[in-house]
Amino acid sequence: MKPIQVGLLGIGTVGGGVFSVLDRNQEEITRRAGRGIKIHTVADLDTKRAEELVKGRAKVVSDAKQVVNDPEIDVVVELIGGYGIAKELVLAAINNGKHVVTANKALLAVHGNEIFAAAQAKGVTVNFEAAVAGGIPIIKALREGLTANRIEWIAGIINGTTNFILSEMRDKGLDFDVVLKEAQRLGYAEADPTFDIEGVDAAHKATIMSAIAFGIPVQFDKAHVEGITKLSAIDIKYAEQLGYRIKLLGITKKTKDGIELRVHPTLIPTKRLIANVEGAMNAVQVMGDAVGTTLYYGKGAGAEPTASAVIADLVDVARLQTADPEHRVPHLAFQPGSMVNTTIMPMGEITTSYYLRLRVADVTGVLADITRILADNSISIDAMLQREAGDGENQTDLIMLTHETKEKNILAAIAKVEALKTVEGSVTKIRLENLS
């Protein structure tokens, strides 16, 4: 099947990410989608920079209108942002019968009703997974994963800039202004950070989630929007003493009197998982009447995390037109003809770290013998804990954490260690994963 032809409007940070991820993972994406996804044309005012990124692999134009009017293009990816020209281009693309993928939360929170109605009328889709919480597939979860539920509320850390600032304020006890400057220096906050720190960006995203959760039109003008600029370090400290963390939450809740839609700094009990979401990470907690609480966590911004969401939307569009309609999504994610039979490795060949606990005699030289055996088997030690032998005890527990090694090395080493006269009984081995 011919690749789906994509017109990319804007090749800044996210656009560059979309281009490079599609390029890098094309083979695997095609196996999933059933057809290739090809960037046909890139429109960007800075054509020179665009050409440098694209290196001849796509057409580059400066006029985005050329893209939305090009009959060869099936899908337009809008990454320009804002309400102005972006709206015009999205509507023109829809009008020309093209599917649209956009990461533009501002546009959808303010003009979504008009855009979705136009798309519905023309029989095209507007996909926007990247508009909320970046790479986290939260739109899909709400729209498809939780359809059995009456959603009761959603609370999300949906702005990485403010979460980074709040984490820093708490960790270092610094005031807002100081941390903001640091965030700007590190690239976590923009030169003009107003939309982030005043809560507007989070409110755009909360507005979109509110519509999806409750089946209401998007209505950003009704959202209560409050940022973190007035927050003092002292309140973060007092909250901590009382067992709470302060996060900027986007909240939408259904009550018997109507729907709440609000963004503001919020105390959350420290023991909740979402209270422990630190730095620039995002997380959305959803309460459904059947499923109870679910939480979705990941990177909410950045070139490749956002590209991940944009491309997932493109795969959704591609899958609409592959195979029979009943198999829009293949059972095992990859098209049946595109499965591979990669070896599943025997356990001896896997690589991980290890926790080892030994009962050893409390005499000199024991540790030297053990570490020699480990070294001979290419195992290096990351951390060690030795309990002092209790009164009257002549043995003690020795605990070691190793760096990564093959399981067969550990098994060989353990056999030799257990043969030592100074080691009693068998060695307890538990695998360790850093998950970083």
Residue numbers annotated as active site: 205
Determine how many CB atoms are found less than 10 A away from the CB of residue 255.
9
Choose one: 8-16, 184-192, 239-247, 415-423; the region binding a second copy (CB under 8 A): 239-247
Least distance from C-beta 45 to a second copy, angstroms?
Answer: 26
Q: Is 201 in the site for a second copy (CB under 8 A)?
A: no
Q: How far is CA 342 from CA 339, 345, in A?
A: 9, 9
Identify the CA nearest to 423 among candidates 374, 369, 379, 381.
Answer: 369
Least distance from C-beta 36 to a second copy, angstroms?
Answer: 13
**Residue 105 annotated as binding?**
yes
Tell me, by CB under 8 A, how many residues bind a second copy: 145
Q: Site map for a second copy, 322-341, x if CB under 8 A?
A: --xxxxxxxxxxx-x-xxxx
Determine how many CB atoms are found less than 10 A away from the CB of residue 246.
21
Pick from 71, 187, 215, 425 the residue near a second copy by CB under 8 A. Answer: 215
User: At what angle are helices 200-214 and 105-122 packed, to 10 degrees?
Assistant: 40
Choose one: 48-56, 186-194, 309-317, 410-418; the region binding a second copy (CB under 8 A): 309-317
Is the Cα dihedral 178, 181, 185, 186 positive or negative?
A: positive
**Residue 9 annotated as binding?**
yes
Choose one: 39-47, 56-64, 177-185, 255-263; the region binding a second copy (CB under 8 A): 255-263
The DSSP element (H or E) to which 379 belongs, if any, is none
Collapsing DSSP to helix, strand or coil, 62 comes out as: coil
Least distance from C-beta 286 to a second copy, angstroms?
Answer: 9
Q: How far is CA 41 from CA 8, 11, 26, 69, 386, in A?
A: 6, 11, 17, 12, 63
Pick from 2, 56, 148, 177 the residue near a second copy by CB under 8 A. Answer: 148
**Residue 125 annotated as binding?**
no
Pick from 10, 15, 135, 160 the residue near a second copy by CB under 8 A. Answer: 135
Angle at 260 between CA 255 and CA 264, to 5 degrees: 140
b (16+ CB within 10 A) / e for 293-328: eeebbbbbbbbbbbbbbbbbbbbbbbbeebbeeeee
**Residue 392 annotated as binding?**
no
Collapsing DSSP to helix, strand or coil, 126 comes out as: strand
Pick from 269, 363, 375, 403 the residue near a second copy by CB under 8 A. Answer: 269
Q: Is 409 in the site for a second copy (CB under 8 A)?
A: no
100-129 residues in contact with a second copy (CB under 8 A) are 112, 116-117, 119-120, 123-126, 129
Assigned token pair, 408 = 């067969």
Pick from 49, 65, 222, 416 the residue near a second copy by CB under 8 A. Answer: 222
Choose one: 59-67, 86-94, 247-255, 361-369; the region binding a second copy (CB under 8 A): 247-255
The binding site for NADP(+) comprises 9-16
For the annotated binding site for L-homoserine, the residues are 190
